Amino acid sequence: MGRYDESKKSSGAKGKKFGHAGRAEDPYRPEEGQEASICSECQALYQNKRWFFDEKLARRLAGTDKVRQVVCPTCRQVKDEYPEGILTLSGDFFKERRGEILTLIKNEAARVSSRSVQDRIIKMTEEAKDKLVVETTTEKLAQRLGRAVYRAYKGALDFRWAEMNRFVRVYWSR
């Protein structure tokens, strides 16, 4: 019983401390008098603690002192190669239709990425002629890409979550 109390207390204190630090410093917050922050890599905008794409607004703010230049968390994640989702495609059918399956994946990823700053492909690695590994910035995108391939070509689709659902491995094969 004593042990239970102790762990409860320590995790509570930790959570509070973390929350405090998060509120105190937001590394992407625009400066006083600025309208937004902008990612110099992908032109994503940041306002009211939210990342989004808005070409018109980005063009209007570009080069003015109304905007703060930063690098967004997704661009950092891509640069650091830190995936939260990994999709593995494999099989003889994959080997045969590789080109069109890759096109489908790239198109689906581009569609999702254009709407959501967080979702991006980090890299694709050919491990063998019949095996390709796609690393994504979010577990959501890896799942979406796996489902898109499954919808188009059937085959076998499998999901394995880890780390409190913050990381997923998706396997598609045919």
Residues in contact with Zn ion by CB under 5 A are: 39, 41-42, 44, 72, 75
Least distance between Zn ion and beta carbon 72 (Å): 3
Residues in the chain: 174
Q: Give 56: exposed, middle or buried? Use CB within 10 Å, 0-12, 13-18, 19+.
A: exposed
- Nearest residue (CB) to Zn ion, 44 versus 101: 44
Q: How far is the CB of 63 from Zn ion (least distance, A)?
A: 18
CA separation, residue 148 to residues 17, 71, 105 (Å): 41, 30, 8
- Tokens representing 46? 């940041």
Considering the complex, what minimum distance in angstroms separates the CB of residue 38 from Zn ion? 9
Comparing CB distances to Zn ion, the nearer of 75 and 86 is 75
Q: Which is nearer to Zn ion, 75 or 87 (CB)?
A: 75
